[in-house]
Amino acid sequence: MSAHHPRKLMIMRHAKSAWPLGVEDHERPLAQRGHNEAPMVGRWMARHHHVPDFILCSSALRTRQTCTWVCSELGDKAPTPMLSDALYDATATQVLSEINQLPDTITSLLVISHMPAVQDLAMRLASVESDEEAVMNMASHYPTSGLTVLEHRKSWAELDGRDAKVTAFIVKR
């Protein structure tokens, strides 16, 4: 990929989850609010031409369910997600390590994961050219179903810190 065509990275926090008694954290499902929120993000992505060609998703139930709702709104354009145990309970550095291993044939990536990694990673990657209001909003509060859209011109392997321009931070409620 040439430097003329930026890559897109979208970082999403899973939709609102439930806290059922006796259920392990990894297997917590979405709450009804989460089932309502997640499709809205998918519709926004489709409407604004932010359709990923690759999805990296935590293996936790709530992230898988979020991903299913997003993909249902993207329709036939939705790629088959790759589930990653490494994204569950990961730090921002660990999530970035997973991204760094992706092939450069991917031009648009959606990562669906958990707090605090999603917020920490978005803040770590935000360059000085970023949309200031979007960065301030995501720095102060990264709610469930929050989505950061970033663009960068590096290979995935080179992505590290302050390398990506935040173009949008979306919150759907």
- Between CA 89 and CA 46 the distance in angstroms is 29
With 0.85 as the threshold, say if the pTM is over it.
Answer: yes
- The Cα 58–Cα 113 span in angstroms is 5
- pLDDT classification of 172: cutoffs 50, 70, 90: confident
**Cα dist. 49→68, 79, 118, 153 in Å?**
18, 14, 22, 19
Dump strand ranges (E) for the chain: 7-13, 54-58, 82-84, 108-113, 147-152, 165-170
Task: Quote the DSSP letter at residue 11.
Answer: E
Nearest to 78, CA basis, from 122, 45, 48: 45
Arithmetic mean of pLDDT, 53-63: 98
- In this structure, what DSSP letter does residue 126 have? B
Confidence band, pLDDT 50/70/90 cuts, at residue 100: very high
For residues 22-30, give the mean pLDDT: 97
Please identify which residue in the block is written with the tokens 């302050």. 162
Which pLDDT score, from 0 to 100, does residue 5 have? 78
pLDDT of 2 strictly over 80: no
Tell me the mean pLDDT in the region 71-97: 97
Percent of the chain with pLDDT over 90: 95
Structure tokens at 56: 């990296």
DSSP strand pairing (82-84 vs 7-13): unpaired
What mean pLDDT comes out for the span 109-135?
Answer: 98
- Is 28 in a helix, a strand, or coil? coil
